[in-house]
Chains A and B, each alone.
Chain A
Amino acid sequence: MAALPSPSDRREAARERVFTAASLVAAVALVATIALFLVQLLVTSRTSWATFGLPFLWHSEWNPVTEKFGALPMIVGTLVTGFGALLISTPFALGIAIFLADYAGKKVAEPIKYLIGLLGGLPSVIFGLWGLFVLVPIVSKFEVWFGKLVGSEALVASGTTGVGLLAAILLLAIMILPFSASLILEALLVVPTELKEGALALGATKWDTIQNVELPYVRKSTVGALVLSLGRALGETMAVTMVIGNGMKMPTTLFDPANTLASAIANQFLEATSPIYVGSLIQLALILFVIAIIINVLARVILRRGIQQ
């Protein structure tokens, strides 16, 4: 009964070994990549942290001329644009998700979903292009008008270019909107119809149902979606780079040009000459890397728990 392995048996056994090895190698490579990134970033930025140490994180001077570098202006820029964009876009994301889930008929919902998908897939640099030539002039007009309104010379001055934190926040808000809206919509569509019908049968209005049944049901997923969107916003590079103005100094108002961790690198890396300048920029990348990983993992954990409900 136990026959000698035929040629095809041997072939299959060999194929099995190769296949199993390949999938293991790929899996390990994936894990190793994260470690590799961390190590590489640490090593190549050592000219910076060896010189500045931990205080790099809270020094507010970023001066390529005197070669004194501190990450605070960029960290502030990143946080302000990220949270600002989230703040502005969330109500709209919720609004549109609720609209598509509960109000819109199929004929209306399909093209809108298509449009959202289209915009979600638009490359960052194209948003940056639109932002630079369309949004920034509008923002500039607003900023100059506002500065004159409150009688501030400084605001008018920084408003004339239009580039700066405000432009970046608005552009980012538009960019993360399709992303968060579709995630929230996905979550809302999972709400069982029986629950909604049960509430309506008790005499609740449509909005009552939304507020008291649907939204609580998707709370974890929504939070997860928002955290993911924040992560997206924090890591956004090209669009922000093109409208934020490459400010070296700590911004004082929303109209000021500024930099995020990402835009500083994009704007300055190719011109950085000295090792310490390059190292400092790479250290910004390291900080960004760590922040992004933490937020992304956090978001996925929340989302997974939300789905398991």
Chain B
Amino acid sequence: MEEPVIVLETQKINAWFGKDQVLFDVSARIPKNRVTAIMGPSGCGKTTFVRTLNRLHLMTPGARSSGTVLLEGTDTSTMDIVDVRKHIGMVFQRPNPFPTMTVYENVLAGYRLTGQRLSREKADQIVEATLNKVGLWTEVQSKLFKAGTSLSGGQQQRLCIARTIAMEPAVVLFDEPTSALDPKSAAIIEELLSDLKSDYSIVFVTHGLQQAARISDYVAFFMLGELVEFGETKRVFVGPQDKRTEDYLSGKYG
């Protein structure tokens, strides 16, 4: 069993909302080019953890965090926050394409919002390549210049994914990407997550055991703000090392 290359490492992450501590000494090592699932019962801190990775957590008023996040060896607190987010992208639970932009413009939104100018050829190239990667190209080719919000829910979410990977991040974070979608669209997204790992490192939050089992290579089990267990999905599901993990897998917690 070879040691996986680590793309993202956290060392003793603690997080608070005001006086309430929600994460306790979370140290994790996210492998490169793999799909890592973050699972656990409601309120266990999975979303908060993921939001500390791209420093979105601190945007909530009253939020605090401590600990180190290393992106391919570099401490992200030494980086400009804008750079952190260029390398670590995020897709949200509810699809949120920008309503004032067309599908085309939405894909390139990251460039526009960070003031990076693109030539027409480069722009066209990126749009086609990214939409292809998320399997949308043929579907929306004729709708490129319609509003981003004119697509269906599942298509909108894939558009948001395209928007994120257009920036060529190293890591893409997903916060429960399928909970707001119908089962058919959810299945398409799940397949996409597996496809994407060849180019990116995927971390996704899920509230469903089955989803984690289905598509992830590695899984992190959180409970009450602690990282209880982390390892290869097959190993964890077949032979959990912590009793809490075992209980969760057998359905004891919601």
Q: Which residues of A contact B (CB under 8 A)?
A: 1-3, 5-6, 8-9, 11-12, 15
A157 vs B78: C-alpha distance in the bound complex, in angstroms?
Answer: 86
Q: A1-B73, A1-B87, A2-B83 are in contact. Are A12 and B78 (CB under 8 A)?
A: no
Min distance, Cβ B117 to any Cβ of chain A, angstroms: 7
A15 vs B114: C-alpha distance in the bound complex, in angstroms?
Answer: 11
Question: By the criterion CB–CB under 8 Å, are B71 and A9 in contact?
Answer: no
Question: By the criterion CB–CB under 8 Å, are A11 and B115 in contact?
Answer: yes
- Contacts of A12 on B, CB cut-off 8 Å? 82, 114-115
Question: By the criterion CB–CB under 8 Å, are B115 and A8 in contact?
Answer: yes
Question: By the criterion CB–CB under 8 Å, are A2 and B79 in contact?
Answer: yes
| Besides A8-B116, A9-B82, 12 new A-B residue pairs in contact (Cβ under 8 A), listed by A number | A1-B71, A1-B79, A1-B83, A1-B87, A2-B74, A2-B78, A5-B80, A8-B117, A9-B80, A11-B115, A12-B82, A12-B114
Min distance, Cβ B101 to any Cβ of chain A, angstroms: 18
Interface SS of chain B: loop
- Contacts of B74 on A, CB cut-off 8 Å? 1-2
Min distance, Cβ B129 to any Cβ of chain A, angstroms: 21
- Contacts of B80 on A, CB cut-off 8 Å? 2, 5, 9
Q: How large is the interface on B (under 10, 10 to 19, 20 to 34, 35 or more residues)?
A: 10 to 19
Question: By the criterion CB–CB under 8 Å, are A8 and B83 in contact?
Answer: no
Min distance, Cβ A128 to any Cβ of chain B, angstroms: 44
- Contacts of B83 on A, CB cut-off 8 Å? 1-3
- Is B72 part of the contact surface with A, judged by Cβ < 8 Å? yes
A105 vs B58: C-alpha distance in the bound complex, in angstroms?
Answer: 50
- Of all chain B residues, which has the CB nearest A10? B115
Min distance, Cβ A230 to any Cβ of chain B, angstroms: 37
- Contacts of B82 on A, CB cut-off 8 Å? 9, 12
A11 vs B87: C-alpha distance in the bound complex, in angstroms?
Answer: 20
A1 vs B83: C-alpha distance in the bound complex, in angstroms?
Answer: 9
9 pairs of A and B residues whose beta carbons are closest in the complex: A1-B74, A12-B115, A8-B116, A8-B115, A2-B79, A11-B115, A1-B72, A1-B71, A2-B74
**Residues B106-129 near A (CB distance < 8 A):** 114-117
Min distance, Cβ B66 to any Cβ of chain A, angstroms: 21
Min distance, Cβ B166 to any Cβ of chain A, angstroms: 15
**Residues B41-94 near A (CB distance < 8 A):** 71-74, 78-80, 82-83, 87
A8 vs B111: C-alpha distance in the bound complex, in angstroms?
Answer: 10
- Of all chain B residues, which has the CB nearest A15? B115
